[in-house]
Amino acid sequence: MEGLYSLLPAPAIVTQESDPAAYKVLTSFWAAQLNLSPKAIVSPPDVKTLAKTIQYLYSHTELDFAFRGRGYSSLPTKDVLVSLHNLDEFTYDPDKQTITVGAGQSWMTVYEALERLAPNYTVVGARTPSVSVGGTVVTAGFSWLSGKFGCISDPQNMIDCEVVKYDGSVVWASTEPALLWAIRGGGGGYGAITKIIFQLHPISRSIYYGTVIAPMSALTEVTHRISEFSTSTTVDPGVSAFMFIQREKFRAMHESNESKGDGDVLVFQLFDLNGETHGRQAFSWALELPGAKDFTREGSMLDVIKIQDRVSDLIGTSRQNWATIIVPEFSVSQIQHSAQWFKDLGTHGNSIAQNTYMIYELFCTKDSPTPAQLSWPGPRGCKHMLVIGLGCDLNAADEVIQRAQELAQSAPSYLMGDDPRITPTPNAIEEWSDLSKIYGDNYKDLLKLRLKYDPKRRFKGSIKITQS
């Protein structure tokens, strides 16, 4: 550990003793159990210092270390957490309509800068504004715009990125095409991404978006409407929506306080690039539900992503296990079955019921036009996701923790069946996830590239390479 003090300025090293408040923030993870109380968090102020830090940690120590974007699906570490949040540059090239952004910043910062510098253009960035740019790139990345433009790391969106490799060398990934391929959704573990070049797209400033809240009594009708919507072949690619049964704890997942005290309600988040008139028609099935409260309006992409700007309040407040899958459609029976399962979670105890969320995400992804250029080969004919976070209290008993994990493992096939097109997503991987299902034929090539870019097996990534 002492060696780190000679490489980094003192404020860039945070310990529990040196700054308890900063330590708490930097060791907060969405899944609270991933905080193994590392000995130190280092936040290199620039690429040169990051390169020296990585080279030192990788080749001159036995310390356990990991990279942190914003902690929404970080990998745990015992010794040193390398937080990349100081990598926050932003440059705009109006001739090429590209931006170059530091990988450690949140998507909120990027959208705010675009609003100032290029308000009629946008970037394909995360829906949740508090997640980091680098973290979404290595996990493919899903945006409100993905139904139209694809994933964040697809070549039409992410052009190139700069990487610090294990030996401290710094390269543009395009100079090593296999590295760029692996970074596009390959789960991390190939080096630290420092900055990324993104293509901008022209965008309307009158996007239709916002929340609709309906009473639980509308669930039967909603089930049929969502199923019809999910199988429609005429939905415009600029249209996307979420629906979830709100649990009180997760009220910060949407913008409206109007549902406070209403208990369980149905929440819709609507999005239509084509503006209000088109959006009201596309979503008439939700807007006209009996008892629906309508909080939708028009605004810019920055306004849209702010719908979820309170999500960060929930970080580290529960133990969490992913059970998220990409699905081709939501049939009536699948929605009925999953909604009933969710409502019945109380049979496993309050701790699980109150800390679990489930979101039907409609038209949130599409096949890539260039799948050969991606390590995550894309959704393969699927446009929707069922996002499930199976949680329990921070201080839950061992048997509750185990039960939550068992439910997370069994939920995908129990709720949605065994259609081979249904796969886990690359941004919600657990140790039990079947990686060959996610990466298909690319899995074996990714294993080789993990070893090439991590010969001593010191980095952490979704794809594990263990000593053999």
Ligand X SMILES: Cc1cc2nc3c(=O)[nH]c(=O)nc-3n(C[C@H](O)[C@H](O)[C@H](O)COP(=O)(O)OP(=O)(O)OC[C@H]3O[C@@H](n4cnc5c(N)ncnc54)[C@H](O)[C@@H]3O)c2cc1C
> Per-residue string for binding with ligand X, 402-441, x by CB under 6 A?
-------------------------x--------------
User: What single DSSP character describes residue 191?
Assistant: -
Query: Which range of residues in 48-56, 62-70, 263-271, 371-379 is near ligand X by CB under 6 A?
Result: 62-70
Alpha carbon of residue 167 to chain centroid: 28
Rounded Cα distance, 187 and 433, in Å: 13
What stretches of 104-236 show up as alpha helix (H) in DSSP? 107-117, 133-138, 146-149, 177-183, 219-231
Q: Which of 8, 32, 75, 353 binds ligand X (CB under 6 A)?
A: 75
> Per-residue string for binding with ligand X, 180-199, x by CB under 6 A?
--------x---xx------
What's the token pair of residue 384? 């929707």
Q: Which of 98, 136, 230, 405 binds ligand X (CB under 6 A)?
A: 136
CB of 164 to ligand X, least distance (A): 8
Query: Which range of residues in 63-71, 88-96, 204-212, 347-355 is near ligand X by CB under 6 A?
Result: 63-71
> Which CB sits closer to ligand X, 30 or 229?
30
Q: Which of 27, 28, 53, 73 binds ligand X (CB under 6 A)?
A: 73
17's CB contacts (< 8 A; 6+ apart) are none
346's CB contacts (< 8 A; 6+ apart) are 353
CB of 142 to ligand X, least distance (A): 4
User: What single DSSP character describes residue 138?
Assistant: H
Query: Which range of residues in 128-136, 240-248, 334-342, 373-381 is near ligand X by CB under 6 A?
Result: 128-136
> Per-residue string for binding with ligand X, 309-348, x by CB under 6 A?
--x-------------------------------------
> Which CB sits closer to ligand X, 30 or 166?
30
Cα distances (Å, whole numbers) of residue 415 to 110, 203, 320, 331, 338: 37, 37, 19, 11, 5
Of 285, 173, 168, the C-alpha closest to 224 is 285
What's the token pair of residue 121? 């253009």
Question: What Rg do the C-alpha atoms of the chain give, in angstroms?
Answer: 22
- By the rule CB under 6 A, 38 interacts with ligand X: no
CB of 80 to ligand X, least distance (A): 13
Rounded Cα distance, 405 and 411, in Å: 10
CB of 276 to ligand X, least distance (A): 23
CB of 217 to ligand X, least distance (A): 28
- Residues numbered 251 to 290 that lie near ligand X (CB under 6 A) are none
CB of 185 to ligand X, least distance (A): 10
CB of 312 to ligand X, least distance (A): 8
CB of 317 to ligand X, least distance (A): 11
Q: Which of 53, 105, 132, 240 binds ligand X (CB under 6 A)?
A: 132
Q: Which of 40, 42, 101, 103 binds ligand X (CB under 6 A)?
A: 103
Bridge-partner residues for 211, per DSSP?
269, 295
User: What single DSSP character describes residue 75?
Assistant: P
Q: Which of 23, 58, 65, 67 binds ligand X (CB under 6 A)?
A: 67
- By the rule CB under 6 A, 131 interacts with ligand X: yes
Amino acid at 189: G
Rounded Cα distance, 208 and 275, in Å: 5
> Per-residue string for binding with ligand X, 137-176, x by CB under 6 A?
-xx-xx----------------------------------
Question: Got the DSSP string for 6-33?
Answer: HHS-GGGEE-TTT-HHHHHHHT--SBGG
Burial 72-82 (b: 16+ CB within 10 A, else e): bbbbbbebbbb
Query: Count of residues binding ligand X (CB under 6 A)?
Result: 30
> Which CB sits closer to ligand X, 139 or 334?
139
Residue 48 host element (H or E):
helix 47-60
CB of 335 to ligand X, least distance (A): 22
Rounded Cα distance, 387 and 270, in Å: 16
CB of 438 to ligand X, least distance (A): 14
Bridge-partner residues for 31, per DSSP?
318
Query: Which range of residues in 9-17, 69-77, 91-99, 166-174 is near ligand X by CB under 6 A?
Result: 69-77
- By the rule CB under 6 A, 68 interacts with ligand X: yes
Burial 161-184 (b: 16+ CB within 10 A, else e): bbbbbbebebeebeebebbbbbbb
The contact set with ligand X (CB under 6 A) reads: 30, 66-75, 84, 103, 126-128, 131-132, 134-136, 138-139, 141-142, 188, 192-193, 311, 427
